[in-house]
């Protein structure tokens, strides 16, 4: 698992030697399959071996703990690591990134592996997942630039500084996602939602709700063009203005619902304070 370019335990520039791990090894997962090898090398560069270690965690402990379906194992690199990693093309150097609904770390951990310049916060409400995320961050030596926060996006919004970029994959439809994610971005910051073929349809259906929530016009950005086929489809929404919940421009249906969701989260059960990992 050690990159032959670096010494034992050295995973490349910017990566501290990870601590001892109880995670099992599966060396077949540590290298990308031939058909995705060029793209993986381009995305992860000198941190390819670290990406391999993460693939291994997903394919072993991630599967055992029910965070990744066993049928995903053969396509971990293609569908998860590289498909998420190409998003880094449209994230500026040194950006703060909040990944909402990180699950097993997708795309948040992938971005932190590919881009040590990013400051990444993983927001995830389920304890089983945050335990895995914390262990993965430690094993991969990412403690310096990744923080795990347990909570729902609408619960943690008051305790996190506005991010340059908020990412999400497979978390919710665009209107709901915008209601959860835009409040986590600074004004001028962006939501990057990794979507599939539904992207254009979702934009058509939810453009008005996004606008009520302070978002600009949603646009589709293709990432990994010339590297992967098909390229990853990302919906990009710039946060144009702060919306006070319940006071959206047009009567504020979407903004009101988002505000209500935040209020409910606060009242719910004393889980309002996010738990930092």
Going by C-alpha positions, the residue among 7, 5, 4, 62 that lies closest to residue 29 is 62
Interface pick for ligand SAM out of 18, 59, 85, 103 (rule CB under 6 A): 103
Is residue 171 a contact residue for ligand SAM (CB under 6 A)? yes
With respect to ligand SAM, which residue has the nearer C-beta, 125 or 248? 125
User: What count of other Cβ atoms lies within 10 Å of the Cβ of residue 163?
Assistant: 24
Is residue 173 a contact residue for ligand SAM (CB under 6 A)? no
What DSSP element (H or E) covers 181?
A: helix 174-181
Instruction: Give CA–CA dist 78/112, Å, rounded.
Output: 17
Is residue 100 a contact residue for ligand SAM (CB under 6 A)? yes
- The percent of the chain in helix, strand and coil, each rounded to the nearest 5, is 45, 20, 40
154 belongs to an annotated ligand binding site: yes
Instruction: Give CA–CA dist 72/28, Å, rounded.
Output: 14
Instruction: Give CA–CA dist 156/2, Å, rounded.
Output: 37
CB of 207 to ligand SAM, least distance (A): 21
266 belongs to an annotated ligand binding site: no
Going by C-alpha positions, the residue among 192, 176, 198 that lies closest to residue 239 is 192
CB of 167 to ligand SAM, least distance (A): 9
Interface pick for ligand SAM out of 81, 149, 180, 224 (rule CB under 6 A): 180
| CB-CB contact of 234 with 192 (8 Å) | yes
Interface pick for ligand SAM out of 47, 115, 150, 169 (rule CB under 6 A): 169
| Interactions with ligand SAM, residue window 129-158 (CB under 6 A) | 129, 152-154
177 belongs to an annotated ligand binding site: no
* 230: preceding bond cis by omega (within 30 degrees): yes
With respect to ligand SAM, which residue has the nearer C-beta, 152 or 190? 152
Instruction: Give CA–CA dist 258/51, Å, rounded.
Output: 36
Going by C-alpha positions, the residue among 176, 165, 166 that lies closest to residue 213 is 176
Is residue 206 a contact residue for ligand SAM (CB under 6 A)? no
106 belongs to an annotated ligand binding site: yes
Is residue 123 a contact residue for ligand SAM (CB under 6 A)? yes
Instruction: Give CA–CA dist 94/103, Å, rounded.
Output: 23
Interface pick for ligand SAM out of 64, 127, 170, 244 (rule CB under 6 A): 170
153 belongs to an annotated ligand binding site: yes
Is residue 233 a contact residue for ligand SAM (CB under 6 A)? no
Q: Which residues are annotated as a binding site for S-adenosyl-L-methionine?
A: 101, 106, 153-154, 169
Site residues, ligand SAM (CB under 6 A): 100-103, 106, 123-126, 129, 152-154, 169-171, 180
Q: Which residues are annotated as a binding site?
A: 101, 106, 153-154, 169
């Amino acid at each position: 698992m050690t990159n032959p370019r670096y010494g034992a335990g050295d995973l490349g520039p910017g990566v501290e030697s990870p601590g001892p791990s109880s995670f099992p090894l599966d060396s077949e997962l540590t290298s990308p399959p031939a058909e995705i090898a060029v793209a993986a090398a381009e995305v992860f560069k000198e941190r390819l071996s670290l990406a391999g270690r993460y693939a291994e965690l997903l394919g072993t402990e991630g599967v055992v703990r029910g965070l990744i379906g066993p049928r995903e194992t053969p396509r971990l690199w293609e569908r998860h690591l590289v498909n998420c990693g190409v998003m880094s093309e449209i994230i500026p150097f040194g950006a703060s990134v909040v990944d909402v609904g990180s699950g097993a770390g997708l795309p948040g951990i992938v971005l932190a592996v590919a881009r040590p310049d990013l400051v990444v916060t993983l927001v995830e409400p389920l304890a089983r997942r945050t335990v895995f995320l914390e262990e993965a961050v430690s094993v991969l030596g990412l403690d310096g630039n990744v923080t795990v926060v347990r909570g729902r996006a609408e619960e943690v919004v008051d305790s996190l500084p506005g991010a340059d970029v908020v990412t999400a994959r497979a978390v919710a439809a665009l209107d709901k996602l915008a209601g959860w994610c835009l409040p986590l971005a600074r004004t001028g910051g962006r939501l990057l939602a990794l979507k599939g073929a539904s992207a254009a349809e979702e934009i058509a259906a939810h453009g008005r709700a996004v606008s009520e929530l302070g978002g600009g016009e949603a646009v589709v950005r293709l990432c990994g063009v010339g590297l992967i086929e098909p390229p990853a489809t990302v919906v990009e929404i710039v946060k144009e203005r702060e919306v006070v919940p319940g006071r959206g421009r047009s009567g504020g249906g979407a903004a009101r619902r988002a505000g209500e969701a935040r209020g409910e989260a606060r009242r719910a059960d004393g889980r309002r304070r996010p738990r930092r990992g």
